[in-house]
Amino acid sequence: MKRSHPSNDQVDVISSDDSSSSDAEMEVTTEYVSKQLTSEDALMRRAEMYQEYMKHVPIPTHRGSVIPFTSWMGLGKSIKQLYGQPLHYLTNIQLKQWDQLRIGSEDEYRPLDAIIHPCKAEATIWLIEEVHRNTSSHHHVANLWLSDPMHHAFVDSIFPQLDSRS
C-alpha cells in the first residue's frame, strides 16, 4: 500500500476585500461584548432584586432552643431549618471562611459548640446577617457573583412568606 506524500505546492489565498475579515471579526467581538454586557446587566438586576428581597426578610426576635453544632456552616444550616428563612449570600460565604480559618488550628477537630457558646454563636450569625441584609450594596454582590461561577451554591433557596405591611 502506497502512502500519499504531502504536496509541496503552496497555495496562496488572496482576499479581494481585506476589510471583510476585520469587519467579521469586529462583528463577532461586538456581539460577544453585547452578550456579555447583557448578562452582566441581568446579573446586576438579579443582585439588586436579591438585596431588596433580603432587606424585607425580618431577623427573628425570638430564639428557638440551643442549637448544638460542630462547624459554622453546620450552625447556619440548622438556623435556616429552625427559622425557615435564608441567610444572606455574604453570610453564607462568611461562615464558610470561618470554617476554613479553623483548618490547621489546635482545635480544628474539636466541636465548635465546645469552644463558643451556642447562644453567642447564633447571636453572632444574626448580627452579621442583619449587617449583610441592611447595608450591602447590590453592586458588590453582583461583582462577587460575576467572579464566582458557583455563587448560586451560596444563595439559599428558602423563600419565606413576607408580611405585606413591611
Give the mean pLDDT of the chain.
82
Higher pLDDT, 159 or 99: 99
Superfamily of domain 69-156: RDM1 protein domain (1.20.120.690)
Higher pLDDT, residue 99 or 41 = 99
Measured distance CA(126)–CA(53) in Å, rounded: 17
Backbone Cα Rg of the chain: 26
Chain segment 116-134, per-residue pLDDT in tens: 999 999 999 999 999 999 9
- Mean pLDDT, residues 97-114: 95
Contact 137, 44 (CB under 8 A): no
* pLDDT attached to residue 66: 87
| pLDDT value of residue 133 | 96
The full DSSP string for 23-34 is HHHHHHHHHHHH
C-alpha 118, offset from chain centre: 27
At residue 138, what are phi and psi to the nearest 5 degrees? -65, -25
Least confident of 42-51, 130-139, 148-157: 148-157
Quickly state the pLDDT bin for 14 (edges 50, 70, 90): very low
- For the chain, give the longest Cα–Cα distance: 86
pLDDT band at 149 (very low <50, low <70, confident <90, very high): confident
Kindly report which listed range (3-17, 55-69, 143-157) carries the lowest average pLDDT score.
3-17
Residue 11: the pLDDT is: 45
Domain definitions of the chain by residue range: 69-156
Residue 13 pLDDT = 45
Instruction: Note the Cα 63 to chain centre separation in Å.
Output: 28
- Asked whether residue 59 carries a pLDDT value surpassing 70, the answer given is yes
How many angstroms separate the CA atoms of 74 and 95, rounded? 9
SS3 for 51-67 is HHHHHHCCCCCCCCCCC
Question: Which residue from 117, 110, 163 is spatially nearest to 125, judged by alpha carbons?
Answer: 117
